[in-house]
Every structure is written in C-alpha cells, then in structure tokens.
C-alpha cells in the first residue's frame, strides 16, 4: 500500500455539530466517516457495531451494552434467517448520524476513503454476559461474533468501494493491548489463530488501528496491509522492533504514524518543527538499523496520535491538531519529494 505521507485520522471526534465533524474529516487526503459519541451512545464504537447481534440490548441512559445468554440462544434462529440478506449488516441511523451523509458526498476525487469497525476480539472482551464474563469465552457466542463482525466490516467495505475504488476499512482494536497480560486468559496461540482466520475473510486492504501498546511482534507478523499506531506516545517502543518493522515494510505493507497529539497538555508544548523532529527521529532510528527510508516514507501515512474526548475545549485542540497534521504532511512531502 502506498502512503506517501498522506493524511488520515481515527474515526472518533468530539464534535456535536455533525456538519463541522464531516467537514473536518473531509479535509484530509484519506477522509473517513466520523463517529460522534458526544451526540449519542449509539455512536460509541462498540455500540455502533452491535446492531442486530443476538442477545444484545443497549442501555442508552446508562450507556451500557447489555448481553443476555438466554436471549442469544432464543434469537439465534431468527438471526440465522435474517442474516442471509446482506443488507442486514448495514450501518444505519440511529447507529450513525454521519455514515449515510458521508456516502452522499463527492468521494471519487480522493485518492482513497476509509471506514472503521470494532474488531471482534475487542468487542468480545469488552461485552460481558449476565455473570460479567466476557462473551468471547463462550465458544458458541464467539463463533457467531466473529462471523457477525466480518459481515459488518465487509458490507461497509463494499458500500465505500462503490463510492471510491480504493476504499478500505480498518479495525479499531484497543482490546489487542490486553492480550498476553494477566488481565485476560485469552492465550497467545488462540488469539493468533482467531485473528488470522478473521483477516482471511476480510475484503479489501486489511488494517488495524490501536492507540495502546500491544505485543508489536504479534501485530507486525499478522496478515495486515496497514498498521496504525500512536507514534507520538508509543513510537520509541514500536521502533525498537526494528527488524520486524523492516520486514513489514519490505512485504509492501504500510504504517500510519499517529504523529500529532490531540490532548491540550501535549499539543500546547509542541510546534510543527518539534513534531516533525520527533517523527524524523523515529525514522532515523529505523534507517540506522538498515531501513530504506525512501521505501518507508512511500509506505507511510500521517495521522493524529489518538482520538480525544476529554479536552476542556471540546473541539478546539482536536481541530488545531488536524491543521498541524495537514501542515506536517505538506512540509514533509515537499522535503522528501513525494507526490
């Protein structure tokens, strides 16, 4: 996948103004449809992809996803029948206030467009049953979950590719940070096998985004076309896996470097030059260990470091971060002669 230091961003924005959120997303080289959890709990990235999954109920007032195992088994026959229709897996209002409007925009003029979906591992670890046990540990539920999330993601891929042939969807998978820790009994070889089987059925370019600090060797060895990370906060750890990163790039894959912080306290301490310096230091470290810098930049995207919903100024800092991101991309593409 060619990146050429073009810009994109994670899906979650702090906006309540839908027009402003859409305008901001469309200002990037690879725009995305925004997720707006401040508008409603339906926009929560877990709740958003839960529509139609047997056994799930949303508690909108309490902002919780409820799951009942008995209801899952009761609803399973109806789910099996209804899910034979591809449209069953469509993302619709009220589960997204923006998606249909995004599809109605002029998206052909972009080099690519992007969507996002919660990964089945993260969903299965986050959502718990009536006994507070993550549903991924129930083998019956897990089978349906992985099938359901794959259909959801692939239906979105098809819809986006109808608007732009280079469209792709990446998985937001924060739960991958929990793997291989004492907090989960989801063992290494099972997680690798589950993710590999899921990605094998994924249509279009295969991407994963997470802001945390997972087992990078696990992800760099997975069947991915794109890996998106918080390079501002995690880049020094990530680049210590220099050999694996080089292999990843040499196989034609791409990295989205989350280079511009979106939290007030972080961004206020930075300038465009300082942010470029931090990022180039990461690239320099890899180059010193044998990375072909030109190839790396051709296969790199630039993005904000993280989503942010906690700033006291709500949207101001996030919008400033997007502006700096566009400036960074322009400056670096000019410096390195990238189209």
Q: Name the pTM for this structure.
A: 0.95
| 3-class DSSP state of 2 | coil
* Strand 300-304 with 6-7, pairing: parallel
Q: Tell me, what's the pLDDT at 190?
A: 82
Q: What Rg do the C-alpha atoms of the chain give, in angstroms?
A: 20
Residue 202 dihedral angles phi and psi, to the nearest 5°: -80, 130
Q: What is the pLDDT of residue 215?
A: 87
CATH (domain of 78)? 3.20.20
The number of distinct structural domains making up the chain is: 1
Pairing of strands 6-7, 254-260: unpaired
pLDDT at residue 81, rounded to an integer:
95
For residue 330, being part of any structural domain is answered with yes
Asked if 58 and 66 touch (Cβ cutoff 8 Å), the reply is yes
What SS3 class is residue 15? coil
- DSSP-based three-state secondary structure for 112: coil
Residues 6+ apart with CB under 8 A from 311: 14, 262, 263, 264, 317, 318
Q: Find how far residue 305's CA is from the centre of its chain.
A: 12
Helices (H), 210-339: 216-220, 231-238, 242-250, 264-267, 272-288, 293-298, 316-336
- CA-nearest of 218, 179, 174, 178 to 307 is 174
CB 322 within 8 A of CB 28: yes
Within a domain: residue 1?
Answer: no
Decide: 215 and 259 in contact? Cβ < 8 Å: no
pLDDT of residue 291: 97
Q: Of 191, 174, 283, 288, whose CA–CA distance to 238 is shortest?
A: 283
What pLDDT tens digit does each residue of the chain (339 aa) get? 789 999 999 999 999 999 999 999 999 999 999 999 999 999 999 999 999 999 999 999 999 999 999 999 999 999 999 999 989 999 999 999 999 999 999 999 999 999 999 999 999 999 999 999 999 999 999 999 999 999 999 999 999 999 999 999 999 988 888 775 545 667 667 888 899 999 999 999 999 999 888 889 989 999 999 999 999 999 999 999 999 999 999 999 999 999 999 999 999 999 999 999 999 999 999 999 999 999 999 999 999 999 999 999 999 999 999 999 999 999 999 999 997
Query: How far is the CA of 15 from the CAs of 116, 241, 267, 268, 318, in angstroms?
Result: 18, 36, 18, 20, 10
Total residue length of the chain:
339
Please report whether residue 321 resides in a domain: yes
* Residue corresponding to tokens 């100024």: 313
Structural domain including 23 reads 6-336
Residue 259 counted as domain residue: yes
């Amino acid at each position: 996948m060619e990146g050429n230091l073009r810009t994109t961003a994670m899906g979650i924005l702090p906006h309540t103004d839908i027009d402003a959120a859409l305008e901001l997303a469309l200002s990037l080289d690879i725009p995305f449809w925004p997720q707006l959890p401040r508008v409603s709990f339906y926009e929560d990235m877990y709740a958003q992809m839960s529509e139609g999954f047997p056994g799930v109920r949303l508690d909108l007032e309490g902002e919780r996803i409820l799951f009942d195992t008995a209801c899952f088994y009761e609803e399973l026959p109806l789910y099996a029948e209804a899910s034979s229709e591809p449209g069953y897996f469509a993302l619709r209002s009220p589960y997204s206030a923006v998606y249909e409007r995004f599809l109605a925009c002029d998206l052909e003029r972009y080099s690519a467009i992007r969507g996002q979906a919660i990964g089945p591992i993260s969903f299965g670890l986050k959502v718990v049953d009536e006994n507070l046990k993550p549903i991924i540990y129930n083998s019956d539920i897990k089978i349906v979950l992985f099938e359901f999330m794959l259909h959801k993601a692939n239906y979105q891929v098809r819809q986006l590719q109808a608007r732009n042939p280079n469209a792709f969807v990446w998985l937001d998978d924060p739960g991958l940070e929990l793997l291989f820790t004492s907090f989960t009994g989801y063992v290494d070889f099972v997680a690798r096998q589950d993710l590999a089987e899921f990605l094998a059925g994924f249509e279009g370019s295969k991407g994963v985004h997470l802001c945390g600090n997972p087992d990078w060797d696990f992800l760099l060895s997975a069947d991915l076309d794109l890996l998106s990370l918080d390079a501002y906060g995690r880049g020094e750890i990530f680049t210590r896996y220099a050999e694996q990163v080089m292999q990843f790039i040499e196989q034609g894959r791409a990295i989205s470097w989350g280079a511009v912080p979106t939290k007030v306290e972080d961004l206020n301490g930075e300038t465009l030059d300082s942010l470029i310096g931090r990022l180039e230091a990461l690239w320099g470290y890899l180059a010193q260990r044998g990375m072909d810098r030109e190839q790396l930049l051709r296969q790199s995207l630039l993005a904000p470091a993280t989503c942010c919903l906690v700033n006291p100024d709500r949207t101001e800092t996030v919008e400033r971060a997007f502006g700096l991101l566009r400036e960074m991309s322009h400056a670096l593409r000019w410096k390195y002669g990238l189209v």
